[in-house]
Structure 1
Amino acid sequence: MSPTALALVLAAAVCHAAWNILAHGVSRIGIPFLWWGAVAASLVWLPLVPATGGLGRARPEDFAIGVVVSAALHCGYMLVLQRGYAGGQLSTVYATARGTGPTITVIVAVTLLGERPSPAAFAGIAVILAGIVAIGLLDRERGAAAASGLATASAPAPASGPSPRPRPGRILGVRLDPGIAWGLATGVAIAIYTVWDAHAVREWAIPPVAYMVGCTLGEILLYAAMLGRRHRELLPVVRRHWPRILLFGALSPLSYILVLVAITMAPVALVAPMREVSVVLVSLFGAVVLRESRPGCRLAASALVVGGIALLAV
């Protein structure tokens, strides 16, 4: 990987960690916040499209197909991610999602895109899975406590209050903390949109900024269709959270635009794993600011995930 591509990916990791911390703080708002985030992203980045190559050499029909599919995939990703943040600890959801996503991406890149990572990259998959299992063990007691609390609750939460945490999920009969379950689902979504977007940017020569703006414009329409009666919440949400919305709208596309540019310079199987150094940044925030349980063990497990990610890029 060239120094330029590496710098782009590391910058993307910092931006990605920042916007996920912002999103975690308002995860229970859901679609109204995501709608405003898409609006803010479009307003911030649309003026930059002409200065970054416009549509470039891409055919209009390819651009349309690319952004329509990408908008749907990114909406699904955001909805799953927000659900995870509403029910699990920040570092649990983030580390699980960011470890699962590149693992699946590498597998798809090898089987469908014809890329050939080194043998060490396959060892990295095993290390990532070990890190995710370690995080799952850290949160196992928490998941059981959450389930017990739900079972013994004597009164429902007020209608206007925050939603109750979801029950721990099960995979092959094993109880999972909600953060692990939703993190795994988020990782699958990450892998799907990463492979699709890499195909669109590479094969159809769509400039990344135009592609991202087209995607956010599509997200506005999709989130609007999902709002329903919750459209009444839009004004209260923007009045209360407009600084967070603006930062989210700037940083979320920026983190991915940097990745899309890097993808044009280096293989997907290298770029996707390298951006996941953000896992440690988010874990540090969770440990220091949010005071999540067992911070030392949580940081060690997150570092294990990043170590596996580093092996993927060898």
Structure 2
Amino acid sequence: MQICKRWLFTVVLSTSVLVTRAQEADSLILSGIDDALSFEDSLSIFTMIDSLMQMDDLNRSQIAVRLSYNSNVLSAGRTLGIENFGLAPGVSYYHKSGLYADVSGYWSKDFDPSYYLTITSIGYMHSFSKYFSVIGGYDHYFYNFNEDTYIPYRNALSVTPMVDYKSLTLSFNYSFYFGDTYANRLMPGLTWVISKNRWLGLDRISFSPSAYALFGDETITDLELVWPKTLVEAIKNKKQYGRIYAFVEHNNRVFGVMNYAFTAPLSVTLKRLTLMLSYTYNIPKALPGEPLTLSESSYLSGSLTWFIPLHRNKLPLEF
């Protein structure tokens, strides 16, 4: 199986899961905590996939152990303006058949408790040709908040087709989050990969400037103040609400662009170790009817990944 190698650093956005999966100025408020689907939705999903795609031999089963860093906790590709950093350790297992599994943890001093999320993932990567590949997966989120915290999503299904043409990669990620409610996320992206092997003592150095757009839906709730039309209605409102007027709630599900992001990841590989550093600039956009107060912002992120090849005669999971 030959997955397109150019898609090594296709995205370090704002979903993960740091994202990701990374990750939101949505209507998804967790009892005063800005949506915990922040780190994972933006960086983690793609950091995990990137660590798999960086493997030098996709015909051999391997393990990737990584530690990711983010200078700002993110949300649906939109930074929350939190200056404290977050850390996300993770381990991925890739089988030469294309199957993979991953476990990632998320720590940030901006949450209480600081270790607030664990994500488990399973999926499959397949290359239909040297130009076209698809990755699909399922994620489950284990939150570490107290019982009073409202968690709207605990699961996600995603699929990412990728097209390679020379040094350009076009990707299109679709994710469906579900739990107590649901949300759709679409993220097309274009990446230009510049790489060089065996340079300055390094096995590989790669620079991958990218541009992404994040589309999604959410439920916008509006409250309409309704004055009574009759005295009887006013008396009824007074008894029921303690006031003569009433509020009528209107829930509208809207869809649109949520964020534009431009990212510049630089990675270097030496033997089994890969270091990635990235700068991302976000331009958040309000959905129709959404009271968005976030402004344009930027952040730094990075990951350090150690690859462990598994030999056939030592691998109990080989089949």
TM-score tier, shorter chain, comes to under 0.3
Q: Structure 2 length normalisation: TM-score?
A: 0.28
Q: Structure 1 length normalisation: TM-score?
A: 0.28
Q: Which has the larger radius of gyration?
A: 2
Higher helix share: 1
